[in-house]
């Protein structure tokens, strides 16, 4: 039976779950959801997820609403390569260590910067709050330092949790892509992070590029600009 993935691919966790299913060979069906169209506010969707968020997976009659729980559930229930979420207690704990850390670090800082720098100004058609954006950029860059220096041990480690790719890397890469739509390249002047993200992308392609196609289009179309309101070049 196929797992149904209800996902808006503008969402970082939604992309991560989709990429995981494709890379791990889990039989699935993508059910596109558009948050901006109100798809998460329908009675049918709210029955699956009262929180009205994405993604949601359905495995038969069983629905699950949190991406981290999805990774763990799918690793237990489906036949996948062990490296994605190891059965060994200590190796699994290393993956869990990052999955717990990223909530208030990679995810929070990259998403907060993207929202303040581009998403909210675009929706309100108003310039970004430069002081707020600068503060969020500073904390985001501190987080990027920690990823390079601690999680990747200054380039000594190939992946977040060691020598093998895992769900931690899928989630990390998806979050690290988000600031690009706000005109910020997390890889710039960061050779360790650049090599890491290129490695993860190569391992996950073609699924990685397919899931990020909308992100790439937004980056190319706007490059952080807010037409008629804010120009990145004018603020260099």
With a cut of 80, say whether residue 22 has pLDDT above it.
yes
With a cut of 60, say whether residue 133 has pLDDT above it.
yes
Residue 234's pLDDT band (cuts 50, 70, 90):
low
pLDDT value of position 174 = 98
Closest CA to 185 of 121, 105, 117, 127: 117
pLDDT value of position 235 = 63
With a cut of 80, say whether residue 202 has pLDDT above it.
yes
Provide CB contacts within 8 A for 66, sequence distance 6+.
none
Q: Name the helix (H) or strand (E) containing 111.
A: helix 106-114
Cβ 21 vs Cβ 74: under 8 Å: yes
Mean pLDDT of the chain: 97
Q: pLDDT, tens digit, for every residue of 143-188?
A: 999 999 999 999 999 999 999 999 999 999 999 999 999 999 999 9
pLDDT value of position 236 = 53
Q: Name the helix (H) or strand (E) containing 20.
A: helix 12-24
pTM over 0.85? The answer is yes
With a cut of 90, say whether residue 17 has pLDDT above it.
yes
Residue 16's pLDDT band (cuts 50, 70, 90):
very high
- For the packed helices 106-114 and 130-146, what is the interaxial angle rounded to 10 degrees? 150
State the residue for tokens 């090599």.
Answer: 195
Residue 110's pLDDT band (cuts 50, 70, 90):
very high
Residue 1's pLDDT band (cuts 50, 70, 90):
confident
SS3 content of the chain, % helix, strand, coil (to 5): 60, 10, 30
Cβ 143 vs Cβ 179: under 8 Å: no
Distances (CA, A) of 73 to 26, 91, 193: 12, 17, 29
Residue 233's pLDDT band (cuts 50, 70, 90):
confident
């Amino acid at each position: 039976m196929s797992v149904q993935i209800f996902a808006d691919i503008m969402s970082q966790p939604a992309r991560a779950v989709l990429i995981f299913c494709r890379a791990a060979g889990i039989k699935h069906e993508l059910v596109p959801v558009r948050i901006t169209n109100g798809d998460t506010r329908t009675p049918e969707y709210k029955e699956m997820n009262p929180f009205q968020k994405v993604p949601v997976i359905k495995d038969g009659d069983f629905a699950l609403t949190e991406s981290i729980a999805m990774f763990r559930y799918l690793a237990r229930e489906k036949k996948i390569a062990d490296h994605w979420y190891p059965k060994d207690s200590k190796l699994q704990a290393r993956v869990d260590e990052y999955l717990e850390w990223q909530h208030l670090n990679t995810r929070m800082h990259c998403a907060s910067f993207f929202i303040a720098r581009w998403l909210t100004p675009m929706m309100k058609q108003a310039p970004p709050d430069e002081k707020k954006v600068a503060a969020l950029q500073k904390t985001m860059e501190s987080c990027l330092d920690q990823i390079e220096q601690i999680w990747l041990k200054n380039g000594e480690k190939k992946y977040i949790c060691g020598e093998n790719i895992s769900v931690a890397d899928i989630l990390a890469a998806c979050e690290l892509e988000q600031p690009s739509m706000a005109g910020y390249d997390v890889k710039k002047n960061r050779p360790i992070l650049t090599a890491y993200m290129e490695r993860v992308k190569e391992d996950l392609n073609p699924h990685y590029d397919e899931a990020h196609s909308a992100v790439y289009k937004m980056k190319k179309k706007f490059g952080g600009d807010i037409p008629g309101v804010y120009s990145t070049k004018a603020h260099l």
